[in-house]
Structure 1
């Protein structure tokens, strides 16, 4: 066996090596990368890169944004990552903290990471009430109208944030959704300054949420975001503010135990 990117015996990379090199190159930029850039970095002909990326996309390991022509990691990589994380005990380190937070607030808690032009839900703990916000790990959600999404964009690298602000489809899910790019930039500046975000019925009518980043020094970037989400009839914006200290404490605790690289 050889390490990813290493030269196999005989001096020639086989197609599997090339595919793995491409997959690894896709993973380094959450905003996605185009085929020509990937081919150049991995040292493969563009035609070969297209062929391998097409296969990876068909199998669900990469996703092609047809508008930007950028490739990002697909859900199959999430499934593999979850399997490895479970085997190494990493999946469990965040969940107990999210369970404690759900018990303390009485509402659902979620965790997400940035995946291309979406957020990818990786953890969900249901609240104790019969009426509770639901979530499904492994599914994708929008960035511009959710608390977690705003945090992930606001606290991403300058390059990633600029790309997302310029290219995201700012769909109006509700009358409160942000649909103007200038307004979105202002919201992200506010989120970055205060260190948390609120979504006030912006994605779904009747749902409010507050989110905070999971960060690892010395890089001041969000590796993930966690949130508390609740029905609007049970949680006012003031209620969300009261939950903020507990939310930030949970995010800090996760950052201390969760391997981020």
Structure 2
């Protein structure tokens, strides 16, 4: 029995270390890896070096730091292609940005958070920046609200009970009943907004990208600085976002 448990534990620890390295693109030391993962230093050293041999992690000797390796980048690119985030989504999102002159973002639901999977920068000097691969909260972002609003009923109910209502921005929702109502409205009207809820000075609007069976695949958003766009300005972009979402729904591979 113990013999069968050991490999699974080793794999779990190795995956934990790989995820931690992936979350530190500028590198992380062995002692930091051990501390953050809870894996002893000697075991962390053995496992992370095994990941280095496979090219998933790279050791930077000058700073004695472990960084994501090229093979990890390659796997990420392949995953993105499989989901259609790059080849399929990029041209459609670029068209949206050309029309709005603002950033276009895409996210998918990942547990009790959303994961930024694609981003097109706007052409104006001051704009919204995003980094694919990072997580965002559900309760104070337009994409997070849309992903909850169009999730399966049991998933939506669970998320509305469990998401942390951290006050990230000046207008973050911190009352669970207010969040429930906001998500209900998003489901009713087909889009969600966030008005300086995640970051001060940032507004956004999002629509769902639906699968053929009606389930939500991802969320598509336009985000802009508050000094340049009123909330009403962004809402006028909803038809454009819906058109792009419909095109993506037809073109993205099923999940």
- Report the TM-score range of the alignment, normalised by the length of the smaller protein: 0.7 to 0.9
5 Å-filtered alignment, 1:117-136, equals 117-136=112-131
Q: Output the TM-score relative to the length of structure 1.
A: 0.71
Equivalents in 2 of 1:90, 1:113: separation in Å?
11
After superposition, the C-alpha distances for 1:198-227 in whole angstroms (9 at most, x for unaligned) are 001111111100000000122x22110010
Aligned length: 207
After superposition, the C-alpha distances for 1:90-144 in whole angstroms (9 at most, x for unaligned) are 6211111110100101100000111112111111111110001000111111110
Cα deviation, residue 78, structure 1: 9.4
5 Å-filtered alignment, 1:1-261, equals 52-60=11-19, 80-86=75-81, 91-218=86-213, 220-261=214-255
Q: Output the TM-score relative to the length of structure 2.
A: 0.73
**Conserved? CA contact 1:214–1:252, under 8 Å:** yes
227-236 or 76-85, larger mean C-alpha shift: 76-85
C-alpha change, 1:77 and 1:111, in structure 2 (3 Å) is: farther
Q: Secondary structure at the match of 1:80?
A: helix
Equivalents in 2 of 1:89, 1:181: separation in Å?
34
C-alpha change, 1:51 and 1:84, in structure 2 (3 Å) is: closer
**Conserved? CA contact 1:197–1:212, under 8 Å:** yes
Cα deviation, residue 86, structure 1: 3.5
Any gaps of 5 or more consecutive residues in structure 2?
Answer: 24-67
176-185 or 79-88, larger mean C-alpha shift: 79-88
CA-atom RMSD in angstroms: 2.9
Q: Secondary structure at the match of 1:233?
A: coil
C-alpha change, 1:90 and 1:191, in structure 2 (3 Å) is: closer
Q: Secondary structure at the match of 2:145?
A: helix
Any gaps of 5 or more consecutive residues in structure 1?
Answer: 1-14, 16-43, 64-74
1:12 aligned residue: none
**Conserved? CA contact 1:199–1:209, under 8 Å:** yes
185-194 or 95-104, larger mean C-alpha shift: 185-194
